[in-house]
Amino acid sequence: MITYIIIFILLFIAELVYFHIADKCSIIDKPNGRSSHSTVVLRGGGIVFLIGIWVWSLFFEFQYPWFLVGLTLVAGVSFVDDIHSLPDSVRLVIQFAAAAMAFYQLGILHWSMWWIILLALVVYVGATNVINFMDGINGITAGYSLAVLIPLALVNLTGVFVAQSLIVSTILASLVFCVFNFRPKGKAKCFAGDVGSIGIAFIMLFLLGHLIIRTGDITWLIFLLVYGVDGCLTIAHRIMLHENLGEAHRKHAYQIMANELKIGHVKVALLYMVIQLIISLGFIYSCPNTMLAHWVYLIGAFAVLAIAYILFMKKYYHLHEQYLATLKK
């Protein structure tokens, strides 16, 4: 416990030091077409996730070195991208290289099954970017991360699949970030930036990878279901609209809640957090521990969320169309 208190204090201090550096170097987030904010805010506060893993490694003897290198690589490039925009091709190459390092750490980088590995890498990188796309309002990244990490920690108590200290340290980093970001619109001290959203995505997917490999059960991806439904269905919606997926937008359900419906950022972030926690805890404690039951639960939960998403968009998407029309005037 004393070690964790020390880690929390160190991360808190590191975040304050970063704010001083970001302020001096003008590392800021200016509003754009995707933004749900209207004022300039410090960017890159999510670097605390990367710092948290480095601090954890120093305290716990660098247990996962290749994972650490991959995380540092992908978060580092994302941080550079936060300051000076990089080509998509550069970021994708780095993301695939970092994912390969995570796979090597997980012990699944066997080129005899190259096509399965390639598919898994595409899913890993794709999921990383979907989680990044979901970072658009105050509190949603840190709050949702806690909704994923807490169930992982609970599962790890009953059947260890990864060092518990790694999960706890990541939770501490999320709590530190919450202090400065889980605030009403206009009150956030900083935003996560790509370094934060990409970094925490990389960490969560690595943890889930451990769990899936240990149990041989891919349905544990249900821990990311809420983000998955909103992120993937929004991408599908944009494809149907023949939009450039690389352009900034505000079409996610959470963005329409925050922007068009004027629901507070904290309330929307809490909604996503609570729904994911309910689904995950139900999966852990209420669902029978059989493959069939897990798949039925996953498909059922996906169907409910997908229907809810479609009904929500049918009722409120016209408000976003009205917003887009005002931009053209």
pTM (2 decimals)? Answer: 0.93
* 42: DSSP letter: E
- Binding annotation: 132, 194
* Contact criterion met (CB below 8 Å) for 14 and 51: yes
Answer yes or no: are the C-beta atoms of 254 and 136 closer than 8 Å.
yes
pLDDT digits (tens, 9 = 90+) for 270-288: 999 999 999 999 999 999 9
Separation between Cα atoms, residue 156 and residue 153, nearest integer Å: 5
Residue 177 is encoded by which pair of tokens? 């970030």
Residue ranges of the annotated binding site for Mg(2+) are: 132, 194
DSSP conformational letter for 242: T
Distance separating the N- and C-terminal Cα atoms of the chain: 58
59-69 average pLDDT score:
94
* Dihedral of alpha carbons 305, 310, 313, 314, sign: negative
- The pLDDT of residue 170: 98
**Distance (Å, rounded) from C-alpha 214 to C-alpha 197?**
26
Per-residue pLDDT band at 247 (split at 50, 70, 90): confident
Which ranges constitute the DSSP H helices of 134-252? 140-158, 164-181, 193-215, 225-240
**Per-residue model confidence as pLDDT tens digits over 176-213:** 999 999 999 888 899 999 999 999 999 999 999 999 99
pLDDT digits (tens, 9 = 90+) for 152-182: 999 999 888 999 999 999 999 999 999 999 9
Q: What is the mean pLDDT of the chain?
A: 92
Confidence (pLDDT) at 31: 57
pLDDT in the model for residue 32: 52
Q: What is the reported pLDDT for 30?
A: 62
Contact indicator for 80, 205 with CB cutoff of 8 Å:
no
Task: Tell me the Cα Rg of the chain.
Answer: 19
Q: Are 225 and 301 in contact (CB under 8 A)?
A: yes
Mean pLDDT of 220-240: 96
The whole-number pLDDT of residue 37 equals 47
pLDDT band, very low/low/confident/very high, at 26 (cuts 50, 70, 90): confident
* Sign of the C-alpha dihedral computed for residues 54, 56, 57 and 58 taken in this order: positive
Please answer whether residues 106 and 210 qualify as being in contact, where contact means their C-beta atoms are separated by less than 8 angstroms. yes
The closest of 236, 225, 216, 192 to 289, measured between CA atoms, is 216
The 8-class DSSP code of residue 190 comes to B
Mean pLDDT of 1-7: 94
Give the pLDDT band (50/70/90) at residue 7: very high
